[in-house]
């Protein structure tokens, strides 16, 4: 079963920051938070992941609350090409054989 | 990262037949996965396929219906056997690699069963 809760859909204006929330209140100490996105008719694309510290890469920033029960994916300047379904996933550490289990995700629509 | 290709990209098959989907990776990887995405739905993990061992199937999926081969570290196949219209889905191959064990996905195989 998916261990995360996400809003089913969100809109964002082009050029503005897109902030996608995720609730993972039952996360355990050895579970990481991963974000993927799936653009229509393509395979999912890895975006970013984190354990407890905030993370940033060329695609996005990940903000994890201090209690680790929720996180926010931030796309700083959304473009039309960022329209996709975004999946927040918690996964056990690799050494424990954690599997990537997808929930329903958030369908982000970036509008001009 | 890893570059993953799948063959065929799409197919239309008759019920009762079988289809074998191929997954090729551009680098050696230990862990490969097969997922199914039914129309309008999220991805569901079918099985984990590690080289040199039997595939491990998730609840609701059985080897007789979805036999998997993993002959080497860059290749795997998934067969969808005795197909019915309910098997119409996108089937995706995935690999785990990278410094942080990121998981990468192929483009998928879109299967329609008539």
Q: Number of CB pairs < 8 Å for A and B?
A: 38
Q: Is A101 on the interface with B (CB under 8 A)?
A: yes
A100·B33 Cβ contact <8 A: yes
Predicted local confidence at residue A3, as pLDDT: 84
Predicted local confidence at residue A96, as pLDDT: 56
Predicted local confidence at residue B30, as pLDDT: 87
B42·A105 Cβ contact <8 A: yes
Q: Shortest CB distance from B106 goes to which of A43, A102, A103? A: A43
CA distance A13 to A37: 18
CB within 8 Å of chain B, chain A residues 76-95: 87, 94
Q: Is B9 on the interface with A (CB under 8 A)?
A: no
Query: What is the bridge-based pairing of β-strands B31-37 and B89-97?
Result: antiparallel
Q: Is A17 on the interface with B (CB under 8 A)?
A: no
Contact A85, A37 (CB under 8 A): yes
- The string of pLDDT tens digits covering residues A31-89 is 899 999 999 889 999 999 999 989 999 999 999 999 999 999 999 999 999 999 999 99
Q: Shortest CB distance from B101 goes to which of A94, A101, A105? A: A94
3 state SS for A37-55:
EECCCCCCEEEEEECCCCE
User: Residue B113 to residues B9, B13, B34, B47, B86: CA-CA distances in angstroms?
Assistant: 14, 5, 19, 21, 8
pLDDT greater than 60 at residue B65: yes
* Rounded mean pLDDT, A94-100: 69
Greater pLDDT, A12 or A91: A12
Disruptive mutation site among B39, B43, B59 for chain A (greatest number of A CBs within 10 Å) = B43
Q: Which residue of A has its CA nearest to B95?
A: A100
Disruptive mutation site among A47, A88, A100 for chain B (greatest number of B CBs within 10 Å) = A100
pLDDT greater than 60 at residue A99: yes
């Amino acid at each position: 079963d998916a261990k995360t809760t996400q809003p089913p859909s969100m809109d964002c204006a082009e050029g503005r920051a897109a902030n996608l929330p995720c609730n993972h209140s039952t996360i355990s100490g050895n579970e990481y938070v991963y974000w993927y996105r799936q653009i229509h008719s393509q395979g999912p694309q890895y975006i970013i992941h984190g354990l407890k510290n905030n993370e940033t890469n060329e695609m996005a920033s990940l903000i994890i609350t201090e209690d680790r029960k929720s996180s926010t994916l931030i796309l700083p300047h959304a473009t039309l090409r960022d329209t996709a379904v975004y999946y927040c996933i918690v996964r056990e550490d690799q050494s424990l054989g954690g599997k990537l289990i997808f929930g329903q995700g958030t369908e982000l629509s970036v509008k001009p | 990262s890893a570059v993953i290709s799948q063959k065929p990209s799409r197919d239309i098959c008759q019920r009762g037949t079988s289809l074998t989907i191929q997954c090729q990776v551009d680098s050696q990887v230990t862990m490969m996965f097969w997922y199914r995405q039914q129309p309008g739905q999220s991805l569901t993990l079918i099985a984990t396929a590690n080289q040199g061992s039997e595939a491990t199937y998730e609840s609701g999926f059985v080897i007789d219906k979805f036999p998997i081969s993993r002959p080497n570290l860059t290749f795997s196949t998934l067969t969808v056997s005795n197909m019915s219209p309910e098997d119409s889905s996108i089937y995706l191959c995935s690999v785990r690699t990278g410094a942080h064990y990121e998981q990468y996905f192929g483009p998928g195989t879109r299967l329609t069963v008539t």
